[in-house]
Structure 1
Amino acid sequence: MYGVVPAAGEGTRLRPRTASKPKGLVEVAGRPLLTHCFETLRALGVERLVVVVGYRGDDIVAHYGDRFADVPLTYVRQDERTGLADALRTVEPHVDGDFVSMNGDNVCRANLAAVVDRHRDCRADATLLVDRVSREAAANTGVLAFDDAGRVTGLVEKPAEPPSTTVPRGFFAFSPRVFEACRAIDPAPTGEYELTAAVDWLVSRGGRVETVPLDGWCVNVNTEADRRRAAALLRDG
């Protein structure tokens, strides 16, 4: 199984730490963010990691080389850094078959294996780890819409009126069809190719999209407060 790790971002909200190093090398509880991510994916049985680098990407390559423990590493550059769907487009030549994707700034102790199992059992095009948040938080991120039977009917990015309070948590399992979706979508007004738009494209064309509720915790480390929270959760086990 392949594991894709988008790690091209600049991490401006973590300055001054990211002034001299990429976000993926910022330490949480004494180890770089990417080390936490790689260890999590390795424990899931990922046999090859494809890492999307951009800002100070050479630092990441120099730090990890061509392997993490016994897992080979392939690096792909996303120099313009125009969204997560664009990041996935860059890895298509390096991925064979279904794969998992975990944002490189996430620290998780959660039921990620359940996402992989659900994806395989359902032969889904996309399976998302999801969580419930406040309506205020839902209006500031990607949000899922459901029908009365609980089936995913779409995803929308930062809606003024969220159709639910269920949001993705940065871990996904995909079939290769997601690459078609990432190529087909238009950029958002921000200029980014959003992963929510790619998953919504799959839904609108009959693709099977499954969700698995978060059991455990995941912290998307964007700020110093996030970094401290992730470190505290790791210390508490």
Structure 2
Amino acid sequence: MKVVIPLAGIGSRLRPHTYTQPKALLQVAGKPILGHILDRLLRVGLDDFVFVIGDSGYLIESYISSFYPQIKRVFVAQDSLLETAHAIWTARQFIENDEEILIVPGDSIFSLKPQEVLWVRNSVAGVHRVDNPGQYNIVELDDDKKFIEKVSVKPKIPMSNLALIGIYKISNVPLLLKAVEHLVSNELITHGEYYMTDALKIMLSEGEKVGIAEANYWYDCGKKDSLLAANVVLLNRPEFQSADPEKYRSCILIPPVSIGENCQIENCIIGPDVAIGNDTKIKESIIKNSIIGSYSELQNTVLDASLIGDDVILKSPSLKLNLGDHTEMK
């Protein structure tokens, strides 16, 4: 099965970090978001990808060529950033002969059971139960609670708390492309863009059976708080190996902590829930619940719930920060 990953979004809610790199390459739990997604898909045997990229797509191409050279891959440029349905339309020539495809957003950390998505014959939409359904695109199920009956876009009076999370297994690719073509040809735009929810509505009206797969967890890493929350979840997985405290004897490490290669950390309290990139120096500091980029230097600072980019120099007192790459603060 081919996997389509839209990656062209500019990540405006994560600026200043996305001024210098695509959102999908931001670090979480010691690895780019995209790396976590690819690792999960490769574990279930998926290795054929279509990456829909934007202006900074060359960075995506470089990352994948360096760290995932074994996968089959095609890169498609999306010139107009008009959401997922338009990304599918842009990539249509690479999927039009496929019986099934999987669509996975390039900025989400999630957990779905493969048997509920890949091993069923019908199309499937990933969903997650949310506390504030009026802020999401919501699905309502049929009487048997098996298939989607209705899709509502941010309803004022939600009839369900099952939110679409942008993950779709499509078992009828021709119908999907027909729906997307209808949207694009007739310029049926919602808030200036072409959304998969509108294509899904057309497919449902044509009689397509679309089931659901409920995510155990899902984080749309388009905002700082979601990125930090995803970092906590990934660092606390049973298989995660926290940093070895013997390598940092002048420090107190409170697991889980991820520390990259060639780091110098002295006289610090680090953790819990901290991820530090490669070649970073930290001295006389206390850091918890934060992500620190590579090639950065921190001294005499106390950080909590902070997101620090690459190549940052920070020498300051207690703060909650959101600093992009190549920043100096003293």
Relative to the length of structure 1, the TM-score reads 0.90
Q: Structure 1: how far apart are the matches of 2:101 and 2:134?
A: 29
Corresponding residue pairs, total: 229
CA RMSD between the two structures? 1.8
Q: Deviations along 1:93-118, whole A, 9 cap, x unmatched?
A: 11222011111001123314421112
CA contact (8 A) 1:5 1:52 kept: yes
Larger Rg: 2
AA aligned to 2:167 is: F
Give the secondary-structure state (helix, strand or coil) at the position aligned to 2:118: helix
Q: Structure 2: how far apart are the matches of 1:220 and 1:138?
A: 15
1:213 counterpart residue number:
214
Q: Deviations along 1:120-160, whole A, 9 cap, x unmatched?
A: 2xxx2x301212212xx322221112333334222122222
CA contact (8 A) 2:112 2:213 kept: no
1 or 2 for the larger relative contact order (CA 8 Å, sep ≥6)?
1
Q: Structure 1: how far apart are the matches of 2:16 and 2:179?
A: 36
2:181 counterpart residue number:
183
Residue 69 of structure 1 deviates from its aligned partner by 4.4
Structure 2 CA distance for partners of 1:113 and 1:36, relative to 1, 3 Å = farther
CA contact (8 A) 1:33 1:104 kept: yes
AA aligned to 2:70 is: D
Q: Deviations along 1:148-205, whole A, 9 cap, x unmatched?
A: 3334222122222223211122321002121111111353341111101111111111
Give the secondary-structure state (helix, strand or coil) at the position aligned to 1:212: strand
Residue 67 of structure 1 deviates from its aligned partner by 7.8
CA contact (8 A) 2:49 2:73 kept: yes
Q: Structure 1: how far apart are the matches of 2:159 and 2:199?
A: 18
Query: Where does the alignment leave 5 or more consecutive residues of structure 1 unmatched?
Result: none
State the 4+ residue runs in structure 1 displaced beyond 4 angstroms.
none
1:143 counterpart residue number:
138
Q: Structure 2: how far apart are the matches of 1:110 and 1:149?
A: 21
Query: Where does the alignment leave 5 or more consecutive residues of structure 2 unmatched?
Result: 238-330
Q: Does residue 167 of structure 1 match 2:168?
A: no
Q: Does residue 130 of structure 1 match 2:132?
A: no
Structure 2 CA distance for partners of 1:212 and 1:192, relative to 1, 3 Å = same
1:54 counterpart residue number:
54
Give the secondary-structure state (helix, strand or coil) at the position aligned to 1:196: helix
Relative to the length of structure 2, the TM-score reads 0.65
AA aligned to 1:174 is: I
Give the secondary-structure state (helix, strand or coil) at the position aligned to 1:169: strand
Structure 2 CA distance for partners of 1:67 and 1:198, relative to 1, 3 Å = farther
Q: Structure 1: how far apart are the matches of 2:68 and 2:17?
A: 24
Larger helix fraction of residues: 1
